[in-house]
Structure formats: C-alpha cells, structure tokens
Amino acid sequence: MKAHPGATMTIYDPPGTVKRALPRAVSPANIQAWFSIIPCHTCGVRARAILLCHGHNFFSRVHPSTPRSWPEKAEDKGQEKKGHRCPSRFSCAKNNWRLKKAGLQLKEKMNFGNNKNSKPKKQKIPDSSDDESDQDNRRMEEQGAENGVADMAACYQGFDPGAYLQNNYSPAIADFERKDGLEPWKLACLHRAFTEGDVRGELLVDVGSGPSLYQVMSGCEVFNKVLLTDFLEVNRQELRSWLQDEGGCSMDWTPFLQHVCKLEGRPSSAWTEKAARLRQVIVDIVHIDVHSPQPLALDVLPSAGADCLVSAYCLESASPDLAAFTRALGHIGRLLRPGGHLLLIGTLGMTYYMAGPGVKIPTVPVNAAQVCASLKESGYTLIRLEVYRVPQDMMLCSDDSPGTFFVKAIKE
C-alpha cells in the first residue's frame, strides 16, 4: 500500500499482501508491543490495549476508542464502570489474558504450522514489574506449556504399534548377534540394575510401556507385581494381545526373552518359563499421562506408592521441551515411594522418530548433563548414568538418535 499509493486493489490482492506482511508483523517484538498499557478513553481504566502491528503498514492501528460491538459476558465486566460498556473490546483488563493468549496462539500456529513436525517454541514474555503482568506472564507460560503438551498428544494419535515395533525391535533391527548393538546393551543395563540387590519390593511400574515388553523382562523376576501403563489405547491393546497369548500380537518377543535368560545364566530355552512368569506378574495395563500431576487414576496404586519405576524412551518422546521433560520426571516421581528406584532409559540428542508410515513424532533432544539436572530438580539422587553411542552402521532410518542413556536413581 505504501509502495503503490493510489493504486487500485482488487479482491485478489489481500491474500498475497497478508501472506507477505503477516509473518513480518508477528514478530516477538510486535507481539509484546501489542499489549501496551493505555487508559481506556471512556472508562479511564488503565489497561493493556492491543495495537495491531503498529509500525507496519498492513494493519491500521486499532485505536481503543474505535466503537465495536462487544458481546457482554459476565467475566468480561469486572473492570468496567457500572452501566458502561467499554467501546473497545481490547481495552479492559479482563480481556488482556484472552488477547495475549490469542496473540500467542497465532504465533504458535505460525511456528508449528511452518513445519508439521517442529515442536512449538516456548514464548518469551516481556518482563514487567507490576504484579498483574507477572501473573499474566505466568498464565501465558502455563498456557504455552499446555499447548505444547496438547500438540504432542495430537502427534501421538497417528502412533502405529505394529510399525513402531517393526522399526525398532524386529529381528533385522534388534540383532543379538551384534554384541555392540543397542538391544543387548539395554537388556544388560536392566539386568544389572535389577540384580544388584538394592532394587526390591512388591510392585514395579513401567511408565509409558508403549507396545513393548523388553523393559520388564528382568524386573519380572524380582517383583511379584508388574503394572504396565501407556497413554494410548492402541498400545495397551497390543500388550493385552501378548498377555492373552491368543495369537493377535504384532511382535514375537522370543529373541528378547531368550537373551535375558542367558544374562540370568539360564539356557535360552528357559524363555517359555520367563514368558509365563511375565504373564503371571503383570497385574494390569492402564492409562497414564506423564504430563498430569497425577499420572495414574487415584485407585491404581497402593497409598505407599510403587517400589520401583522403569521407563524407556517415554519422557523425551512425549515432551515438547526440556521443562516439560523435567516436570514429567517430577510427576512420575509421585508414583514412587521414598527410597524407591527409578530406572530410566532415553535417547540422547534425538529430535524425532517415526511411529508409523508418515507419522513423525518430534522429541526433545536431551544431553546427559540435562538429564542429571532434571533428575536432581525432580527429587532423585543419581546412582549412575551410562551412555551408549550408536555405531555408524547401526544408525536407524526411523529416528535420528545418536545415543541412549540408562539411569539408575533413587527417590529422596
């Protein structure tokens, strides 16, 4: 408009103009500037007004005195003078949060929409000394966190248990002949952790089991009760199929069972006994959400909590960012009794994995130092952290993980 003053616009021009102008207009600086504090010219209440993209020539600045129809809602009336309807829907304080949220959601949509698989970025919120602003900022952060978690949950709707198992645990991938392979390493870490003598009790909970069982094949010999959990019904159904042993299962876990038997000093033929033991001790398969402060339904665990938690590739695969990963560690810690153990397996530096044909799940890339810091912040004492680096010729095409960590920790 500035470049071609007086030129005629047609109805075909706005989409192109908006396409060029909007990404430039929705910058962090502009979003902050939109919420300048000004007095409402009619009611005098000092409030934040949204000044649409001032400094840019696409949107005109919306002055708060611009009359607008404003559907009256009880929660919107708090700051107004009695009988007065603020002429600007943008000027009264009760509307601030809604508007900020709208701005934030727009920005998030743009970030997330650019790349279907990129994770939503946490929004930077302007520092402010006044209390109301601090509260608003906190609420915005919370809302941003909720949005990130909701976006992750949406990604998981395409999770395909059969494809996931094929990508990660089929004989071609989990090659037990290769001593430097990931699966022998993981199973050895679990075997050692469960047989050192300090991990004991009655109840073992596996957090985010997915459609997988290898992570409880050592623990099932130590604990008389094993609870499997996952966020998705398709995964819980896959586990039930294995449990029922009626042939509906997508995965043959025999090579894993045989390998763990060998680690325990038994012949690999003992795998049938191990399978029977596992089926005997699995007490239930239930829904879990690690992003909920109460991840399991109330009546699922005894009041003392579980004696041990095992969790493999769940937290970093379910979290939009490091803060959510740390919070999730804290949430699952509430399931554990004080002095109980956490055995945590996770990827290092992974940014995505494939959970089905065309289902690319963005993950939070964590490093060992961040895992240690998150554990400490969430009330665990680290016993040890071990790292596995994927040999170049064993890199999978279904994810970009260069390594895996194994943690043994204890709840303080």
Ligand X SMILES: C[S@@+](CC[C@H](N)C(=O)[O-])C[C@H]1O[C@@H](n2cnc3c(N)ncnc32)[C@H](O)[C@@H]1O
Give residues in contact with ligand X (CB under 6 A): 156, 159, 208-210, 212, 215, 230-232, 235, 288-291, 312-314, 317-318
Residue 226 Cβ vs ligand X, minimum distance, rounded to whole Å:
14
Q: How far is the CB of 227 from ligand X (least distance, A)?
A: 13
Q: Where are the alpha helices (DSSP H) in 197-321?
A: 233-244, 254-263, 271-281, 315-318
Shortest distance, CB of residue 408 to ligand X, whole angstroms? 17
Tell me the closest approach of the beta carbon of residue 232 to ligand X, in angstroms.
4
Q: Are 319 and 328 in contact (CB under 8 A)?
A: yes
Q: Which of 121, 96, 156, 94 is nearest to 26 (CA)?
A: 121
From residue 208, how far is each of 63, 240, 244, 315, 337 by CA, in Å?
A: 51, 15, 20, 8, 19
Q: Name which of 149 and 275 has its Cβ closer to ligand X.
A: 149
**Dihedral sign of CA atoms 314, 320, 326, 329 in order:** negative
Closest approach, Cβ 311 to ligand X, in A, equals 7
Report how far Cα 23 is from the mean position of its chain's Cα atoms: 27
Nearer to ligand X by Cβ, of 104 and 332: the residue is 332
Q: 59 or 176: whose CB is closer to ligand X?
A: 176
Q: Cβ 302 to ligand X, closest distance in Å?
A: 21
For the bound state, the minimum distance from the C-beta of residue 77 to ligand X, rounded and expressed in Å, comes to: 37
Minimum CB distance to ligand X smaller for 64 or for 333: 333
Which residue sits closest to ligand X, CB atoms considered? 210
- Nearer CB in complex with ligand X: 91/401: 401
Q: Which is nearer to ligand X, 235 or 378 (CB)?
A: 235
Measured from the CB atom, is 160 or 307 closer to ligand X?
160
In sequence order, the 6+-apart residues with CB closer than 8 A to the CB of 65 are: 41, 42, 87, 88
The answer to whether 111 and 124 are in contact (CB under 8 A) is no
Shortest gap between Cβ of 190 and ligand X (angstroms)? 11
Q: Is residue 280 helix, strand or coil?
A: helix
Specify the residue, 107 or 331, whose C-beta has the smaller distance to ligand X: 331
Nearer to ligand X (CB atom), residue 35 or residue 214: 214
CB-nearer residue toward ligand X: 102 or 150: 150
**Nearest by Cα to 218 from 177, 266, 178, 167:** 266
| Tally of CA atoms within 13 A in the half-sphere of 26 that contains its CB | 17
Query: Closest approach of Cβ 219 to ligand X, in Å?
Result: 13
Residues in the chain: 412
Q: From the CB of 163, what's the least distance to ligand X, in Å?
A: 12
User: How far apart, in whole angstroms, are the C-alpha atoms of residue 180 and residue 406?
Assistant: 15
Query: Within a 10 A sphere around the Cβ of 103, how many other Cβ atoms?
Result: 20
Long-range contacts of 132-135 (CB under 8 A, 24+ apart): 132/93
Structural contact between residues 274 and 258, judged by C-beta atoms closer than 8 angstroms: no
Alpha-carbon dihedral 246, 247, 248, 249, rounded to 10 degrees = 110
Q: Name residue 306's beta-bridge partners.
A: 336
Closest CA to 229 of 245, 219, 242, 240: 240
